[in-house]
Amino acid sequence: MLEAERASIPPGMTSQPSPVQLIRPTRHGDSRGWFVEVYNREAFAKIGITCTFVQDNHSLSVPAYTLRGLHFQTPSRGQDKLVRCIRGRIFDVAVDIRKGSPTFGHWVGAELSAENGHQLFIPIGFAHGFVTLEDTCEVSYKCSDTYAPANDGGIRWDDPAIGIDWQLPAGTTPELSAKDAVQPLLADFDSPFPYDGRPLAPLA
């Protein structure tokens, strides 16, 4: 596991590809700079990502250690997400919240940055969040459904039962929205997401 990629899943617990995928697009560079395809429907279908994206979101977080999450939308308005950082660096996290999953409550995370160009695909059934690792970070992500306020849900970012290592310096309190500061604990969440037979695995 790379230093920038972390998980709460014991080694050897899973043997198949994770439903959460870390994607490393190839940059084609020359003296002028570089070019990269960040999304190609046919190429993504070959790695099992077949959803149709219908909305693009873009956020700016000015202070370092701004934390957004953990968020999801409930059925029938669930959202697959394809996340990338286009300015600065973030630590991006997905938590398995599928009822009956052997990896329920486990998480994976990876550093996404403007420099490395990596993307994280988070399917329906996972809560998503990120923390900025420096000032002035911009994050862009695709969603497979539009925002539905009635289906908006969340889990506490610091739920001890999940135990996410957010890469925060000792003693640092992240910047949170009023909503994210009072999200429920996982133990108080009756998940409407079914398990599809694919446990969460460390990022490949």
The two structure tokens encoding residue 116: 């490395």
| CATH T-level assignment (fold) for domain 18-26+35-188 | Jelly Rolls (2.60.120)
What DSSP line would sit under 34-88, residue for residue?
EE--S--HHHHHHTT--PPP-EEEEEEE-STTBEEEEEEE-TTS---EEEEEEES
Active site residues: 71, 141
pTM: 0.92
Q: For residue 18, what pLDDT band results from cuts at 50, 70 and 90? A: confident
Tell me the C-alpha distance between 152 and 94, whole Å.
16
The string of pLDDT tens digits covering residues 36-93 is: 999 999 999 999 999 999 999 999 999 999 999 999 999 999 999 999 999 999 999 9
Tell me the C-alpha distance between 31 and 179, whole Å.
46
pLDDT for the residue numbered 28: 96
Among residues 43, 39, 146, 48, the alpha carbon closest in space to that of 83 is found at 39
Enumerate the domain spans of the chain.
Answer: 18-26+35-188
pLDDT for the residue numbered 1: 30
> Please, what is the Cα angle at 111 between 109 and 117, to 5 degrees?
125
Tell me the C-alpha distance between 132 and 167, whole Å.
10
CB contact at 8 A, 83 and 132? no
Tell me the C-alpha distance between 94 and 148, whole Å.
20
Identify the three-state secondary structure at position 24.
coil
5 or 162, higher pLDDT = 162
| Gyration radius of the chain over CA positions | 16
Does 107 score more than 60 pLDDT? yes
The string of pLDDT tens digits covering residues 122-166 is: 999 999 999 999 999 999 999 999 999 999 999 999 999 999 999
Q: Cα dist. 162→11, 74, 85 in Å?
A: 17, 20, 24
Going by C-beta distance under 8 Å and a sequence separation of 6 or more, which residues neighbour residue 102? Answer: 13, 199
